[in-house]
Amino acid sequence: MEIILAGNAGYCFGVKRAVEIAGKVLKEHRRERIYSLGDIIHNPQVVKRLKNKGLKVVTDVDRIEPGSVVIVSAHGRSEEDIRKLEAKRCFVVNATCPYVKFPQNVIKKLSRENYFIILFGDKNHPEVIGLVSYSANSNIAVVDKSVKDFGFIKSSKVGILAQTTQSKEDFVDIVRRLVAGFRETRVFNTICDATKIRQDEAIKIAKEVDIMVVIGGKNSANTKRLYEISKEYCDKVIHIETEKELDRRSFAGVKKVGVTAGASTPDDIIRSVMETLKSL
């Protein structure tokens, strides 16, 4: 059985950075209470390891005790939460991905300059929830690729940007439909190239294998998208978090296996999956 592993599987820049920051904080502040506001990255195995080292994960800022050390997750957080932590005299370590900080600053700027803001993304994703908070006024709408009509916008100046992990093709398609209707459209391409590169590689591999294995958190949006994209090009695709979910029966008669992993999947899990696959 031939196994093809994607060259770009696993940790992206922002995830690697956030995990390293968390490791450093857990070491340096080991005598203090250390919280993370939301899962630092969307991988349950990595989060569990960090919890074993003493990290407390909470989603609600009000549950954090004053004076604690608090790590802000890679997806970023609302300005209000950061202000609350500062008011509680917490020591805030911001592990927000720099590629997420860019759209945060874009929204602040567009909001200050009175643009109506269109944010292309998933309104329930922590990154998007954080981003929306950087708009001081209510002139922001989160849209997905099904958006058809922009008649609800009562401004002639529109700014548009995207959640970092969205599809560039879908973003460009929304921009195309938007520009004809407004005097000024300010487009910020905030999509992280790592996502695009990973997705393109997954498509390439999915086309030539019998089964595609996508490794990553079941709560990871970019991993779920890798699964969906692979599905379009390969009949058999499985989404697993660890090698324990591999079932020998899925590989009966299989000649070629493709493997890719989401941006929050650690190298050692990818290695374990590879070894288990080789042993089948």
Catalytic residues: 127
Cβ nearer to its own copies, comparing 166 with 265: 166
Amino acid occupying residue 53: K
Cβ nearer to its own copies, comparing 108 with 186: 186
Amino acid occupying residue 88: K
Query: Two tokens at 106?
Result: 């874009």
Separation between Cα atoms, residue 80 and residue 102, nearest integer Å? 18
Cβ nearer to its own copies, comparing 56 with 109: 109
Which 141-200 residues touch its own copies, going by CB under 8 A?
A: 168, 171-173, 175-176, 179-180, 182-189
Cβ nearer to its own copies, comparing 59 with 105: 105
The contact mask relative to its own copies for 218-247 (x = CB under 8 A, - = no) is ------------------------------
Rg of the Cα trace of the chain? Answer: 21
Minimum distance from residue 204 beta carbon to its own copies (Å): 19
Binding-residue total with its own copies (CB under 8 A): 16
Q: Which residues lie closer than 8 Å to 20 by C-beta, 6 or more apart?
A: none
Minimum distance from residue 259 beta carbon to its own copies (Å): 28
Q: Which residues lie closer than 8 Å to 18 by C-beta, 6 or more apart?
A: 40, 41, 73, 74, 95, 97
Helix (H, G, I), strand (E, B) or coil at 213: strand
Query: Two tokens at 265?
Result: 């999947």
Phi-psi region of 19 (alpha: psi -120 to 50; beta: other; left: phi over 0): alpha
Residues lying near its own copies in the complex (CB under 8 A) are found at 168, 171-173, 175-176, 179-180, 182-189
